[in-house]
Structure 1
Amino acid sequence: MAGVQTAVQLREQGWPGAVTVLGAETHPPYDLPPLSKAVLSGKAEGSAFDVDFAALAIDLRLGHGVTALRPDAREVDTAAGPVPYDRLVLATGAVPVALPGSADVPGVHLLRTLDDAERLRPVLRERRRVVIVGAGWIGAEFATAAREAGCPVTVVEAAGEPLAGALPPEASRPMRAWYAECGAELRTGVAVARLRPDPAAKVELADGTVLPADAVVVGIGARPATGWLAGSGVALAPDGSVLADERLRTSVPDVYAVGDCASFPSARYGRRLLVHHWDNALHGPRVVAAGLVGDAGKAVQAGPEVYDPVPYFWSEQFGRFVQYVGWHGEGDEVLWRGDPTSASWSVCWLRDGALGALLAVGRPRDVAQGRKLIEQRAPLDRALAADPAVPLKKAALTTA
């Protein structure tokens, strides 16, 4: 998404020169969210972007995985040979984290690429026994698809609650019941000790429990795909992300970074953000293209100059539409809108009385209104905000 959108935005904003897109995969560029939904279930064969690269004069080179960046030569090395550049945009995304030793065990899967989804289709079609390692977004979405297909499902999570890396326990705890409702077993607070090749005893847990499985799906997070930048001079954060500035420029001249591989400073939240979600890969390219077009001497820029979005992501799981907007931190005040055991509810996080983040289950209006309130840094009337019958925008306090 980030690479393709950058190329499209360059053309839409008036970039006059050549545009080349390098892709490691041989498939035409595709969207990721459908992989854990329609593509996985077999309802769609793929999710290729509807982009006419030829009409936009974009040189799309597939099977060109990058292996090194050499700024002095203004080249990137690829599997098909070096490629020169005048300006370079890093959009290599993220790679899933694998369990140690899992490469040597048959029947262990990741879910990040189209090939991954296609390899997992027979698991659902044949209703095989599945153990999912990790109760994050991918784990929950795969559990949903597997249960809909009729697979026996056990989900193992080392943390005490699902979505531990994204949400505090008070917000994710109500989601435990969703697994039971759909017939999936959720085991929390226990890690995987090792994997075995025997389907009858596939997954050994740290507490000694052994779980049978015909397939194991690992969803324990992702890390920026930046290992190929070693020795390039591009500065990286401790989490491995490219240290981009507010215009998504890197520490190397004429090199930008966007999407899952890059973190950026947020003046809104007073910290650097690394956002591994679709919305970030969609909107960041507008800033990159604006910077590149401006650097090329164009008088008018069609995009914003500084990137400081209100982060947003969503997930469809267990018959529910879950959305999150903003960013919350320790010490933020928690305010509930509705009963978390009901079909629809929201959680607000306030900082100094203003809305900083919101999680909504089945309440899309709260998300739409909450996003605007976050952008405005609007303080809220707590009593009104806590009433789910009151539109969230009505809880905003006006100042003289």
Structure 2
Amino acid sequence: MDAVAELSGTDRVVVVGAGMAGAQTALNLRQGGWHGPLALVGAELHLPYDRPPLSKDVLLGKADATAFEIDWHHLGVDLLTGRRATGLADGVLHTDRGELPYDALVIATGAEARTLPGLPGARTLRTVDDAHALRAALTPGRRIVLVGAGWIGAETATVARELGCHVTVVEAAAAPLAGALPAELGALMADWYAAAGVDLRCGTAVAGAADGGVLLTDGTHLPADEVVVGIGGRPATDWLRGGPLALDPDGTVPVDDRLRTALPGVLAAGDCASYPSARAGARLAVQHWDHALHSGAAAAAALLGTLDGPYDPVPYFWSEQFGRMVQYAGRHAGADHLLWRGSPSGPGWTVLWLRDGALTALLAVDRPRDLAQGRRLIERGTPVDPARAADPAVQLKAAAR
């Protein structure tokens, strides 16, 4: 489906999933000139809302809700909250509250928090209800065990310490963020935990619940008033299994470079989709806010026939942890040359990854200008002068050759 002419005024567009990707799809369809019937289906009863503040302002009690400031009624969007997708057939979306016929469908059901067996009562942090429940539990003096030293684990540990809790973080890998960064960088972040008064236990995993706490695989028993599991998310696509749309082995919905699935008129966006990236030379599945934002807009443009080229952005994400702003753009590989820009002992530093003289990725800690300039260099594939790029006194854009 490549042009708006393929949608007549009576065609029905259904967007299933009311997170960032789904909301952006619906919003951009209207802003792009689509005036036909449009429904936005969300499993939660809440109005569509933003998720990044959940582990920050909502958990801290600075905000109660993060609903998007979008007037769905004024836009003529039929907002169907509290309705969960249960299956897909040709031209019909099955939900737990009946069938929804469609002429074009955008799948944007996102991801759901991974859990661990053997930890009854353990909390996760994925929804606004999760955040409210956890916020009530984070009172001074409470013993909190967090499983996972990834992005969400670090952010939750930051807030829990700020609220006066005793925090232990358990990480099966040898260092924080093992799945995203080299061990030498994760080791630097381990120092942040210590400085914040967080007890970080790496190289051990949770064996299960035991005697008012958790038992680790190394035999250690950790008393806990609350256990929080933050080990990432899995695509919320189980409802598609057994239907006409085949999923990738990791559960994502495979799409082409226009976000179209193998089914005519069906697209996918956000955390639940995997797309081919010529930039990375691989198929990517990205579970971050920036991808949800841009892929939702791209899905709308693809339906309207206005998508300008293949969908292949520079991946980007950020995290606020232990008083620092950590930002990452691009995608590095083990063979890429790692280049330091500044010292990790300083107030801010950046790590660059170079491949064939060009920037492929960067990690910036409290250096937002490096991130902004580096992201543009990655996007353009611009070669850089390594000596100038390594000098933190030289603007990164000035290192371009």
TM-score (norm 2): 0.94
| Residues 241 and 247, structure 2, Cα contact 8 Å, conserved in 1 | no
Q: Give CA deviations for 1:28-50 in whole Å, capped at 9, x if unaligned.
A: 11100000000111110110110
Q: Does 1:170 align with 2:184?
A: yes
| Residues 35 and 114, structure 1, Cα contact 8 Å, conserved in 2 | yes
Q: Does 1:317 align with 2:317?
A: no
How far apart in 2 are the matches of 1:170 and 1:235? 39
How far apart in 2 are the matches of 1:256 and 1:170? 40
The within-5 A match list for 1:41-80 is 41-71=60-90, 74-80=91-97
The within-5 A match list for 1:205-244 is 205-244=216-255
Helix, strand or coil at the partner of 2:135: helix
Helix, strand or coil at the partner of 1:55: helix
Helix, strand or coil at the partner of 1:348: strand
2:131 is aligned to 117
Q: Which runs of at least 4 in structure 1 moved beyond 6 Å after TM superposition?
A: none
| Residues 287 and 305, structure 1, Cα contact 8 Å, conserved in 2 | no
2:208 is aligned to 194
How far apart in 2 are the matches of 1:170 and 1:156? 18
2:14 is aligned to none
Letter in 2 for 1:342: G
Helix, strand or coil at the partner of 1:54: helix
Helix, strand or coil at the partner of 2:44: coil
Helix, strand or coil at the partner of 2:26: helix
How far apart in 2 are the matches of 1:271 and 1:160? 27
Helix, strand or coil at the partner of 2:70: coil
2:30 is aligned to 11
How far apart in 2 are the matches of 1:307 and 1:345? 31
2:51 is aligned to 32
Q: Give CA deviations for 1:156-185 in whole Å, capped at 9, x if unaligned.
A: 000001011111212222101000111001
Q: Give CA deviations for 1:90-149 in whole Å, capped at 9, x if unaligned.
A: 0000011100122xx23x100000110011012223541100000000000000000000
How far apart in 1 are the matches of 2:35 and 2:256? 25
How far apart in 1 are the matches of 2:45 and 2:366? 38
Structure 2 gaps of 5+ residues are: 1-19
Q: Does 1:158 align with 2:172?
A: yes
Letter in 1 for 2:60: S
1:380 is aligned to 384
2:354 is aligned to 350
Equivalenced residue count is 382
Q: Does 1:140 align with 2:144?
A: no
Structure 1 gaps of 5+ residues are: 295-300
| Residues 334 and 347, structure 1, Cα contact 8 Å, conserved in 2 | yes
One of 113, 117, 126 as aligned partner of 1:96: 113
How far apart in 1 are the matches of 2:344 and 2:100? 53
| Residues 190 and 205, structure 1, Cα contact 8 Å, conserved in 2 | yes
TM-score (norm 1): 0.94
The CA RMSD measured in Å over matched residues stands at 1.0
How far apart in 2 are the matches of 1:396 and 1:99? 46
